[in-house]
Amino acid sequence: MDKLTAPDLMSLELYARERPAFRARVLEHKRNRKLAVGPNVTWSFEDRLTMQYQVQEMLRAERIFEPEGIRDELDAYNPLIPDGSNWKATLLIEFPDVTERQRQLALLIGLEDRCWVQVLGHDRVYAIADEDLERETAEKTSAVHFLRFELTSPMIAALKSGAALAAGVDHDRYRHSVDPVPEPVRAALAADLK
């Protein structure tokens, strides 16, 4: 997918007018890009549109309109746009109770490295996590991670031909899988690939 550039973005004034319709469009788009892997982990698969929305929201929230500020936001979010041979996802570890969340994050260190996808008939592909910065310490992992799943050409061809997709986490303290990934999600992800 092409990376975003400044001309792809709306001005703050135009975005203020277009935001409700644009937001509704993006939320509908994201519906088939989310995958719950067990009760406490959600993957949100990113693409050009989801990142455009994220950049527009950051520019709006921070009132950024200077070219260097816009460039900084693009530099921060463009790496999360897949390039045709991979998927990039935001991993959320979710526990509603704050005390329970803190306890679980201490137990789930390394979970981000145990996330996998598997195209039917092929080996599992484990995520490459947090390429931008380390998000865990010796005491706990973060509730948010960024994942990249790098696929081979045969895997891509199989997905494009309709092969089933499975996904999961095989951490010692959190083992859940989705097999098969629901068709609307599988189809959206297959469309991201070249």
Q: Per residue in 52-105, pLDDT tens?
A: 999 999 999 999 999 999 999 999 999 999 999 999 999 999 999 999 999 999
Lowest model confidence (mean pLDDT) among 8-17, 32-41, 128-137: 128-137
- Please tell me the predicted confidence (pLDDT) of residue 133: 67
SS3 191: helix
Express each pLDDT in 122-168 by its tens digit: 999 999 998 776 777 788 999 999 999 999 999 999 999 999 999 99
- The per-residue pLDDT of the chain, averaged, comes to 95
d(CA 31, CA 44): 9
The confidence score (pLDDT) of residue 95 equals 96
CATH class of 33-46+83-194: mainly beta
Closest by Cα among 164, 159, 188, 162 to 43: 188
The reported pTM is: 0.91
Q: What is the rounded CA–CA span in Å between residue 63 and residue 37? A: 36
Q: Is-contact 85 151, C-beta < 8 A? A: yes
Domain map of the chain by residue range?
Answer: 1-31+48-81, 33-46+83-194
| Residue 118: pLDDT over 70 | yes
Maximum Cα–Cα distance for the chain, whole Å? 50
